[in-house]
Chains A and B, each alone.
Chain A
């Protein structure tokens, strides 16, 4: 880490002197966080990098193989299938989820709803539900045996497609994730909207701006930061998709393979296949892809002031 701090000059100026004395005090407060962070984030990342350049075999033990593991991952169709799957998931699910969240936040903020606070807390509620419970609930409801889909089929005599079939399971997971996080994102947008200075609305009213114009010209630019942050967190979440497919596996074993998402693949490699070195490599490449995409989104989001 390079630090760029101005050299302290031993001057008699009290202000400069005080600034000099305080230069390191910040570390007293941020130090504990960074110490634990080093143990549970930085050390494992370093260890991952170390693991990724070795190979352990039954015969011959552990040997240094340079970038062999990376070459293998880049040519591994199972890995790229998973990447394509979460990529598709991201492109479809994230806009839908954030779109609904934004619309609800704008509706709540407009002050034109009956029972605003009831809506707010109720739509936020799914965030309190653990991924395991959410997935089991939806998984049961998706079921054709005693789920709602089965009920509807019996009731209407239809044969609705099975949400847990290989063709539909990704969309079904998308629905679960949307349900879990739509309220959370709504709250972030809503909170950002609440602190938009009221003087702007008064000015807009004097200028004769309509509802729609107020939304596009004032509200959306004002919560731009919140939109970018929510998008980045959602992208990171999509790339890390693990819990929902992992838990659904017991309900839909044929639809969800062990390499369904890159994270599931890395997990299976480690804990069923004992291939720690290759698993670390897959995880690192996925981390790099995630960082690049998040970085690009951030640059685009913050670039032009609308």
Chain B
């Protein structure tokens, strides 16, 4: 296992020259830079070309929104990208929430639980680990990174089968822990945090804190953590998306549908139409899908100014 870590030059030898753009999120990023080689003239042609990609990205979401307003009969009889005869959105939402004794609400609560504990814990561990990799020299540092990067390449199923067998021997399968514990590790989050911390925290600042007699943990919480905030938000966003969208892990670990997250529940509803004697509830699948993506879309719109600055860290600088 000797996988050299893809270390950006700035992280391998942290030369502390934090550009203002990575230190101050928000407003600065929203002001367009004066011409990057061009004269800043707006280009209609470029706008049209990018609009093609935009349409591609949004058409399925528009389709989902429109079709969530249709009854099941309308789904089959009306044109996909236009409204049906009836406007049944509220009926659909009510039916989705009420179906099978309100199991959808239960799945929603489960998903939130997995996200809060899984993504929150994953972010916490990634922040601590990334900080250590960026700012400390300790025995086995390169080894830690090689192992983590190497492990990322191992397919999920390679881990899933033995993890399932291990957890079932511990009696953890079919409990929330079987979903939460594996979610706690985000190698990508660790990598992001490492590159971010390497640039966001000047070494001199840590030296100063130590000379003033602050302990390592106090230095971390009082000096480093505030500087890491934009990076933390970015990692939190990625781990939240990962746990919210997780499908494979719960698919293996959970048999009892009362512990399902939303993704697994929707798939079960969809598969129901194909089973003998199962009731086809495509309108509920579509409405449920809309309700599933809504919270994340809202979170994206509100947090978008943060991940800009977080992601920009780790790019190679002058």
Q: A interface vs B, CB < 8 Å?
A: 1-3, 5, 18-19, 22-30, 32-34, 36-37, 39-45, 47-48, 51, 100, 103-104, 107-117, 119-134, 136-138, 140-141, 145-148, 151, 155, 179, 182-183, 187-188, 191-192, 194-199, 201, 204-205, 209-211, 214-215, 218, 222-226, 228-229, 232-233, 236, 239-240, 242-243, 247, 250, 253, 262-263, 266-267, 270-271, 276, 279-280, 283-284, 286-287, 290-291, 294-295, 298, 302
Contacts and interface: CB of A to CB of B under 8 A. Distances in A.
B53 A100 contact: yes
B181 interface: yes
A236 B152 CA distance: 8
Interface size class of chain B, counting residues whose CB lies under 8 Å from the partner chain = 35 or more
- For the residues of B in contact with A, the DSSP-based class is helix
A25 B75 CA distance: 61
A287 B247 contact: no
A129 B293 contact: yes
A237 to B, nearest CB: 10
B311 A188 contact: yes
B94 interface: no
Nearest to B19: A195
A2 B109 CA distance: 45
- For the residues of A in contact with B, the DSSP-based class is helix
Contacts of B166: 43-44, 47
Among A41, A131, A151, A204, chain B packs the most CB atoms within 10 A around the CB of: A41
A195 B297 contact: no
B102 interface: no
A291 B153 contact: yes
Interface of B: 3-4, 6, 8, 19, 21-22, 29-30, 32-33, 35-38, 40-44, 46-47, 49-50, 53-54, 56-58, 60-61, 63-64, 67, 75-76, 79-81, 125-126, 128-129, 131-133, 135-141, 143-144, 147-148, 150-166, 181-182, 184-185, 188, 190, 210, 216-217, 220, 241, 244-245, 247-248, 252, 262-264, 266-267, 270-271, 274, 282, 285-286, 289, 292-293, 296-297, 299-301, 304, 307-308, 311-312, 314-318
Contact of B136 (A5, A22, A110): A22
Contacts of A267: 157, 160
Contact of B80 (A42, A117, A127, A147): A147
A146 B75 contact: yes
B155 A183 contact: no
Contact of B129 (A30, A103, A146): A30
B185 A240 contact: no
7 contacts: A33-B125, A48-B158, A110-B36, A194-B312, A210-B37, A242-B248, A276-B165
